[in-house]
């Protein structure tokens, strides 16, 4: 993680989700200053919700051009976003914003027919049963078997940035952004009954192997991408890619993570 109090971004791009609220806000903001295409920008202002922010971040990763992203919430939850105030221009706020570094998970999923697929996940990678049959999954950490057979609806591995998303709804732990940890969380586990998951160092390499895949097919989902009928999945934090999110002072993501743990 990195942080700073002064940012000097001379060229800003503006991206808005297709929603009516975001498009209306974009129309107003375009009148407040000069904007450049994303390809020429030093940073990007993102209007929308968490889903659109993830879309923008993934696009940066695919195109191998990553610049800082400052989100303004015009969606529903907006956990990755800042509060939107129509009276304040983003250029004034970005100068004082705090930067947070986020490293994505790299998923390599191998299907039952031997095909290999690789995607990045900023929030989490989840494995989910495809039919009414309970999934049976072997869990390995750094090549060592930890659970020979987990009978469940699924399992997920979440980053600190994603620990308050699907992971939290599955009763997984909330991870501070500077924890350098990953949350390994079962989804509706049946056996072993008492296992509620684990917190792992983010240098860990996690492997999931599917038991009885013909009878109990399982899909793997990396944020927005789904691969069906998998045989095994390999996960690790990227050592070469790093994203930067910008947050207003007092409204940074790590503060929201702390706050979330006291909501009852």
- Residue-wise pLDDT for 121-134, tens only, equals 999 999 999 999 99
Q: Predicted confidence band at 252 (pLDDT cuts at 50, 70, 90)?
A: low
pLDDT digits (tens, 9 = 90+) for 225-245: 999 999 999 999 998 899 999
pLDDT of residue 40: 95
More confident residue, 95 or 148: 148
pLDDT of residue 6: 60
Cα angle value 16/17/18 (rounded, 5°): 115
Choose the most confident range, by mean pLDDT, from 154-158, 161-165, 247-251. Answer: 154-158
Instruction: Tell whether pTM > 0.95.
Output: no
Q: Which residues are within 8 A (CB) of 138 and not within 5 positions of it... i.e. 6 or more apart?
A: 145, 147, 148, 149, 150, 208, 209, 210, 211
Asked whether residue 169 is marked as a ligand-binding residue, the answer is yes
pLDDT digits (tens, 9 = 90+) for 62-105: 998 999 999 999 988 788 899 888 766 787 788 889 888 899 99
pLDDT of residue 219: 98
For the cut 70, the answer to whether the pLDDT of residue 213 exceeds it is yes
Asked whether residue 167 is marked as a ligand-binding residue, the answer is yes
Asked whether residue 124 is marked as a ligand-binding residue, the answer is yes
pLDDT of residue 2: 44
Q: Tokens 């976003």 sit at which residue?
A: 81
Q: Which residues are within 8 A (CB) of 216 and not within 5 positions of it... i.e. 6 or more apart?
A: 129, 131, 133, 134, 135, 136, 210
For the cut 70, the answer to whether the pLDDT of residue 5 exceeds it is no
pLDDT of residue 87: 66
Between 3.30.450.270, 3.40.50.12780, 2.60.200.30, 3.40.50.920, what CATH number should domain 105-237 receive?
2.60.200.30
Asked whether residue 28 is marked as a ligand-binding residue, the answer is no
Instruction: Using alpha carbons, select from 100, 82, 96, 68 the residue that is nearest to residue 5.
Output: 96
Asked whether residue 27 is marked as a ligand-binding residue, the answer is no
For the cut 50, the answer to whether the pLDDT of residue 1 exceeds it is no
Asked whether residue 166 is marked as a ligand-binding residue, the answer is yes
More confident residue, 147 or 161: 147
Catalytically annotated residues: 50
Q: Could you tell me if 106 and 238 are in contact, meaning their C-beta atoms sit under 8 angstroms apart?
A: yes
pLDDT digits (tens, 9 = 90+) for 172-212: 999 988 789 999 999 999 999 889 999 999 999 999 999 99
Instruction: Using alpha carbons, select from 130, 150, 135 the residue that is nearest to residue 212.
Output: 135
For residue 224, give both structure tokens: 């927005």
> Taking the domains of the chain in order of start, what are their residue ranges?
12-103+241-260, 105-237
Residue 130 CA to residue 114 CA, distance in Å, equals 19
Q: Which residues are within 8 A (CB) of 180 and not within 5 positions of it... i.e. 6 or more apart?
A: 201, 202, 203
Judge whether 12-103+241-260 and 105-237 match in fold. Answer: no
Q: Which class is domain 12-103+241-260?
A: alpha beta
Ranges of beta strands (E only) in the chain are: 12-16, 43-48, 69-73, 98-102, 105-111, 116-121, 124-129, 135-141, 144-152, 154-158, 181-187, 198-201, 206-211, 218-222, 225-227, 230-237, 243-247
pLDDT digits (tens, 9 = 90+) for 40-53: 999 999 999 988 99
pLDDT of residue 34: 87
For the cut 90, the answer to whether the pLDDT of residue 36 exceeds it is yes
Asked whether residue 202 is marked as a ligand-binding residue, the answer is no
For the cut 70, the answer to whether the pLDDT of residue 4 exceeds it is no
- The DSSP bridge pattern shows strands 116-121 and 124-129 to be unpaired
Q: Predicted confidence band at 3 (pLDDT cuts at 50, 70, 90)?
A: very low
pLDDT of residue 131: 96
């Amino acid at each position: 993680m990195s942080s700073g109090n002064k940012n000097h971004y001379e060229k800003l791009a503006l991206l808005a989700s297709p929603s009516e609220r975001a498009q209306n806000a974009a129309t107003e903001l375009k009148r407040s200053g000069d904007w450049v295409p994303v390809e020429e920008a030093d940073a990007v202002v993102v209007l929308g919700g968490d889903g659109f922010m993830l879309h923008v971040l993934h696009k940066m990763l695919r195109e191998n051009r990553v610049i800082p992203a400052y989100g303004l919430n015009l969606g529903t939850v907006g956990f990755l976003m800042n509060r939107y105030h129509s009276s304040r221009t983003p250029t004034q706020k970005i100068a004082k914003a705090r930067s947070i570094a986020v490293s994505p998970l790299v998923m390599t999923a191998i299907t039952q027919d031997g095909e290999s697929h690789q995607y990045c996940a900023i929030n989490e990678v989840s494995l989910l049963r495809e039919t009414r049959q309970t999934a049976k999954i072997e869990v390995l950490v750094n090549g060592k078997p930890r659970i020979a057979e987990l009978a469940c609806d699924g399992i997920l591995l979440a980053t600190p940035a994603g620990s308050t998303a699907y992971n939290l709804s599955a009763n997984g732990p909330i991870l501070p952004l500077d924890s350098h940890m990953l949350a390994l969380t079962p989804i509706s586990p049946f056996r072993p009954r008492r296992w509620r998951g684990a917190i792992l160092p983010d240098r860990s390499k996690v492997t999931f192997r599917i038991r009885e895949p013909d009878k109990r097919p399982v899909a793997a989902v990396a944020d927005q991408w789904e691969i069906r009928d998998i045989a095994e999945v390999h996960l690790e934090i990227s050592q070469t890619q790093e994203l930067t999110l910008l947050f207003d002072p007092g409204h940074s993501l790590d503060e929201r993570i702390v706050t979330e743990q006291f909501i009852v």
